[in-house]
Amino acid sequence: MATNNFTLHIATENGSGSQSANNILVKSLFRLGLKVSGKNLFPSNIQGLPTWFTIRVNPDGFLSNSLNYNIILSLNPVTFAKDIAKTKPGSVFIYNDSFKFDKTLLNSEALNIAVPFTELAREASDSAKLRKLLINIIYVGVLSELIGLDFKTVEAVIGDQFKSKPSVAPPNIKAFRIGVQYAKEHLSSIKSNFDFKVKAITGGNDGKILIDGNTATSLGLVYGGCNFMSWYPITPSSSIAEGFDFYAKQLRVNKDAQNNFAVVQAEDEISALSMVLGSGWAGGRAVTCTSGPGLSLMSEAAGYSYFAEIPAVIWDVQRGGPSTGLPTRTQQSDVLFAAHLSHGDTEHVLLLPANPKECFEFAQTCFDLAERLQTLIIVLSDLDLGMNFWCTDELKPLEQKFDRGKVLNSQALNERGEFNRYKDLDGDSIPYRTLPGTEHKQAAYFTRGTGHDESAQYSESPEVYEHTLDRLKLKYETAKKYVPKPLVQQNDKIKTGLIAYGSTDSCIQEAQSLLQAQNISTNYLRVRALPFTDEVLDYLQKNDRIYLIEQNRDAQLKQLLLNKYPQFYDKVHSVLNYNGQSISAEFVTKKILSIEGGLS
Amino acid sequence: MSESKNVNAFGLTKKDYLGAKTTLCTGCGHNSITAVLTNALFLSQINPYKVAKVSGIGCSSKTPAYFLNSSHSFNSMHGRMAPVATGAKITNKDLYTLGISGDGDTASIGIGGFIHLIRRNLPMLYVIENNGVYGLTKGQFSATADKGSKIKSGDKSPFETIDLCSMALDLGCGFVARSFSGDNKQLTQILLAAMKHKGTAVIDIISPCVTYANNEGSTKSFTYVKEHLSPLHQIGLVEPSEDIKVDYNEGETTQVKMPDGSTLTLKKIKKGHDVFNREETIKTLIETRDSGQILTGIFYINENQKNVLDHLNLSDTPLAHLPTDQMQPDPKHLTEILKGFK
């Protein structure tokens, strides 16, 4: 018996309405107190192409991708053979009995369950269009009965799901009950031997929420004081802008019903970041969200932000690249590009959130960093983190005050008597700025992307130019004081260390436990930002063997790390997942074991 | 008394509206525009501290350094004046946004930004200093070069010219005008009118490039450049030229001898032109262009349009100056929202 420990894999067509059904399943499991995740593997298409949804329930909270599917539900005749191939001895294969196919294809070592979904849908509705949608809710019913999901919980979730369209709820509840009833009548003998069961845990998810990273980001931006968002639609980042607009309309409206924010859908990503620069220059807490192709177009303004020292934030939800790549698949492959985004000598501060809670946190602190350091901050999320369901701690707004950085108003200018836009007065390489509109004779300065001296005057002087570049490099050093530090789990007796970042974190704990079962104990450091801080160096020194786990082909973070610390070249090994599917603990473990085997 | 006459509404003298010394070629039309613009700003009711000068890249985009030192300026990237101005204006709607761009900056690399800025109707003055040539990269065609005109290599521009005024009219721009850099009187009038407009005001200013412009029939000029100025690429010698000035009446035409020896025929829009009739204006513009003349004047005004700030329903306090409590909602609302995620 695998109580509260299984992976359910559902094959459907996109645009068929299965998303709602899958959401209902995930949410019901969550409400019953189980640790659950839901990952949607979808095509870059609106209707009719194969899509898979994977729900993982795990008592230890290991919720990253698992390719070991216990229950496979196949409702898509096109992928039928592929789905059968995913079965293993002991797995359950539920399929639509109406499909005409060669029954010998079925894996005889799996538990194969035929359900007449098409006929059951006829019971549910007279409308052919509605039947197509309701078939999904019918499978929710069948599955609920088999795994033992509490019906009342599921029906409550269905009610919530269709809250905005109350007339839709009753036919869905009816369809759900048809599925349950069928399973009760025809699958009771199977149910009694069914391996994969759900047992509710009272209070199991107290203090937790089920949320995707993009929604958490939107909420973070609302609470982080973002007042300007410019964006160009691109998967998988669009839901951040739409979410920000949605929540800001509720939470950032003043007593006169006016908006304390602006959202502008730009004509392209070049304009999107240029608008952000205009806003940051004028005193806005401004952000744009995008993905790889958009990031490419933003490189021009990224360099401007760095060189002219204008606060700006790019929230990049990474997908498979290069070029259009895999628009609906996940990767961590913009790291190297983002770190140096622009022509010329450029280094950017990067933030690497690993879960929705951190998306929420960084969506607030990114503006503090941008305004404090007067530069571009690039946050690297990814599709897995941004668009899938994650079980995470309840979000709590940060209590710290906003850091608006070194801005001089007219009173401060009076006190100082002198203002030089790019002069380092505090020894931290961060100069002072004024905002346009400041009514003071000394306030104005000329912002330019060309060579400039401390007073922002045009300069081609070799000394001045070199000085500017050197100061910007020192400013990047200053950034170490402000960026989030890595999270380190270090036992000095253990000499093997893992390093990961971003959504890859979700599989590490499980991988550590799998490695432990093979007598390999590991330390773990999760990088949360660039520049690397001293803790990273310390970790590299303390561990004899390091595995840097990331989701790209070229070991991008490893390149950045070894560029900074080349002395550790021999001890850092890569574990790389780059097939577009989110990384699994099984994969990491297998890779590490094979390297360990070769080394010992 | 004479003292007070030299001081404007903000207690500032004309000197306060000056900037750094120009680094453009002597006789450049852009310098004339800068002078007229400086004067118009002095005469206007605009607080110079509240002006945000924004530009792109090119000879024209350098000019914000040459006037109004007391205002902030953002000399941005090539073709990005429009989006940068958009971000700045929306963030601080109290700023008077003055955009300076050129024909390369607007009609080629920045045409997307130009179009969408007008679509949004961002309140600003959008000045195009139009010489039909890429000056700063030494004389390539721009998209506003007349079809058939020649560049220094002797090649004729084979493509149709882009008329930015016609385009602005088509996009529904609520203030469209054209003038000539040497027509102080007309340009001043147009600028002062444009500064009162509540949306995007586009002014296309024909501004001769004394160094690289070579229009149709300018074989003389081509020879001249070849014989006299071709070393320019090596030694940077630019022959000083006289400023070109014109003064003519409404409905009349005037011939302007360009530095390269070619002739430009300007036609001032007739008295009584209905500036509220968009269709007629578009027709007149096309007819004038087809007859080989360049129409100048205020073409079209529409003050009954909503602008992007209206649509965004922005708070009275500019976003840049919102107090923290207007930027950070009460945590209790989040608790309420998160119930939907359980």
Secondary structure (DSSP) of A455-485: TS-B---HHHHHHHHHHHHHHHHHGGGTSPP
pLDDT of residue B233: 26
CATH homologous superfamily for A211-393?
Thiamin diphosphate (ThDP)-binding fold, Pyr/PP domains (3.40.50.970)
Containing B125, the helix (H) or strand (E) segment is: strand B124-130
Dist. CA A229–CA A214, nearest whole Å: 14
Q: What's the pLDDT at B5? A: 63
Instruction: With a cut of 70, list the residues of chain B below it in pLDDT.
Output: 1-5, 151-153, 213-242, 260
Residue A185 neighbours by CB distance under 10 Å: 9
Residue B236 contacts A where some CB pair is shorter than 8 Å: no
CB contact under 8 A, A261 and B83: no
Query: Whole-angstrom Cα distance, residue A489 to residue A235?
Result: 34
> Does A31 contact B at CB distance below 8 Å?
yes
From the number of C-beta atoms within 10 Å of its C-beta (0-12, 13-18, 19+), residue A341 rates as buried
User: Is the CB of B73 inside 8 Å of chain A's CB atoms?
Assistant: yes
A272 touching B (Cβ < 8 Å): yes
Q: What is the pLDDT of residues A14-30, one digit of tens each?
A: 888 899 999 999 999 99
The verdict on a CB contact (< 8 Å) between B315 and A262 is no
Fold adopted by A2-205: Pyruvate-ferredoxin Oxidoreductase; domain 3 (3.40.920)
Domain ranges in chain B are 2-341
Nearest to B77 among A281, A301, A439 (CB): A301
**CB pairs A-B closer than 8 Å:** 221
Q: What is the pLDDT of residues B220-251, one digit of tens each?
A: 233 333 333 222 223 334 445 667 788 888 88
Among all chains, which residue has been given the structure tokens 């220059």?
A: A281
**Which of A219, A254, A263 lies nearest to residue B326, judging by beta carbons?**
A254
**Global ipTM:** 0.96
- Best to test chain B binding among A215, A228, A281 (most B CBs inside 10 Å): A281
- Tokens 């509220």, residue? B276
CB distance B76–A434 less than 8 Å?
Answer: no
With 0-12 / 13-18 / 19 or more C-beta atoms within 10 angstroms meaning exposed / middle / buried, residue B287 is exposed
Contact A227 B322 (CB under 8 A): yes
Fold of the domain spanning A487-599: Rossmann fold (3.40.50)
Q: What is the CA radius of gyration of chain B?
A: 22
- Residue B272 has what pLDDT? 86
Cβ distance A447 to B73 less than 8 Å, yes or no, reads yes
A164: which 2 tokens? 């905005």
Q: Which amino acid is at B297?
A: G
Query: How many Cβ atoms are within 10 Å of B38's Cβ, its own excluded?
Result: 17
- In A47-177, the DSSP E strands lie at 50-57, 71-74, 92-96, 111-115
Q: What are phi and psi of A182, to 5 degrees?
A: -60, -45
Of A230, A258, A441, the CB nearest to B87: A230
Asked if B83 and A434 come within 8 Å (Cβ–Cβ), the reply is no
Q: Is the peptide bond before A484 cis (omega within 30 degrees of 0)?
A: no
Distance from CA of B213 to the nearest CA of A (A): 26
CATH superfamily of B2-341: Thiamin diphosphate (ThDP)-binding fold, Pyr/PP domains (3.40.50.970)
Which residues of chain B are within 8 Å of residue A284 when distances are taken between CB atoms?
Answer: 87, 91-92, 319-320
Residue ranges of chain A that CATH labels 3.40.50.970: 211-393
Chain B contact set for A277 (CB, 8 A) = 76, 84, 87
Which of B112, B308, B326 has its CB closest to that of A268? B112
Burial of A598 (0-12, 13-18, 19+ CB in 10 A): exposed
Which of A274, A359, A433 has the highest number of chain B CBs within 10 A, making it the mutation to test binding with B? A274
Instruction: Tell me if A381 sits within 8 A of A235, measured CB to CB.
Output: no
Query: B43-68 burial string, b = 16+ CB within 10 Å, else e?
Result: bbebbbbbbbbbbbbbbbbbbbbbbb
| Partners of residue B92 in chain A, C-beta under 8 Å | 282-284, 435-437
How many CB atoms sit inside 10 A of residue A521's CB?
12
Q: How far apart are the first and last CA of chain A?
A: 37
- CA nearest A284 in B: which residue? B320
Q: Does B337 touch chain A (CB under 8 A)?
A: yes
DSSP secondary structure, A523-542, as one string: EEEEE-EES--HHHHHHHHH
User: Would the CB atoms of A260 and B91 count as touching at under 8 Å?
Assistant: no
Span A33-51, pLDDT tens digits? 999 999 999 888 888 899 9
Tens of pLDDT, residues A315-350: 999 999 999 999 999 999 999 999 999 999 999 999
Q: What pLDDT score was predicted for residue B258? A: 74
CA dihedral B321, B324, B325, B329 (to 10 degrees): 110
Distance CA A543, CA A564 (A): 17
The three-state secondary structure class of A163 is: coil
pLDDT confidence of A600, banded at 50, 70, 90? low
Q: Which of residues 101-120 of B touch A (CB under 8 A)?
A: 112-113, 115-116, 120
CB contact under 8 A, A437 and B72: yes
If one compares B241 and A377, the residue with the highest pLDDT of the two is: A377
Identity of the residue in B322, B324, B341 whose CB atom sits nearest the CB atom of A209 = B341
pLDDT per residue as tens digits for the range A216-248: 999 999 999 999 999 999 999 999 999 999 999
From CA A283, how far away is CA B199, in angstroms rounded?
22
Tokens coding A65:
């991708």
For A127-181, what is each residue's pLDDT tens digit? 999 999 999 999 999 999 999 999 999 999 999 999 999 899 999 999 999 999 9
For B308-335, b/e burial (b = at least 16 CB within 10 A) is bbeebebbeebbbebeeebbbbeeebbe
Query: B54: which chain A residues are within 8 Å (Cβ-Cβ)?
Result: 278
* CA distance to partner chain B, nearest, from residue A534 (Å): 33
Cα–Cα distance measured from residue A17 to residue A24, given in angstroms and rounded to the nearest whole number: 12
Contacts of B50 in chain A (CB under 8 A): 437, 439
pTM, two decimal places: 0.95
Q: Which amino acid is at A160?
A: D
Pick from A250, A256, A444: CB nearest B70: A444
How far is the alpha carbon of B309 from chain A, nearest alpha carbon, in Å?
Answer: 9
Residue B36, amino acid: V
Q: Which of the residues A275, A365, A410 would you substitute to probe the B interface, choosing the one with the greatest number of B C-beta atoms within 10 Å? A: A275
CA–CA distance, A559 with A541 (Å, rounded to integer): 17
For the record, the structure tokens of A421 come out as 């836009």
Establish if A437 touches chain B: CB-CB under 8 angstroms.
yes
**Chain B CB within 8 Å of residue A504 CB:** no
Q: Chain B neighbours among A 277-316 (CB < 8 Å)?
A: 277-286, 300-301, 304
**Token pair in block for residue A216:** 């958490």
For the CA atoms of chain A, what is the radius of gyration?
A: 27
C-alpha distances in Å from residue A540, one per residue of A485, A494, A528, A548, A599: 15, 13, 16, 11, 19
pLDDT at position A90? 93
Residues pairing with A433 in the sheet: A407
Q: What's residue B246's pLDDT?
A: 83
Q: Please determine, for residue A1, whether its predicted confidence score (pLDDT) is greater than 90.
A: no
Q: Which residue of A34, A162, A222, A264 is the best one to mutate when testing the B interface, meaning the one whose CB has the most B CBs within 10 A?
A: A264
Continuous segment of H or E residues that includes residue B4:
helix B2-5
Nearest CA in chain B to A32: B342
Q: Best residue in B71, B77, B98 to probe A by mutation, most A CBs within 10 Å?
A: B77
| Shortest alpha-carbon distance between residue B57 and chain A (Å) | 10
Say what the pLDDT of residue B213 is. 61
For residue B149, what are the contacts with CB-CB under 8 A and spacing of at least 6? B132, B141, B156, B157, B214, B215, B216, B218
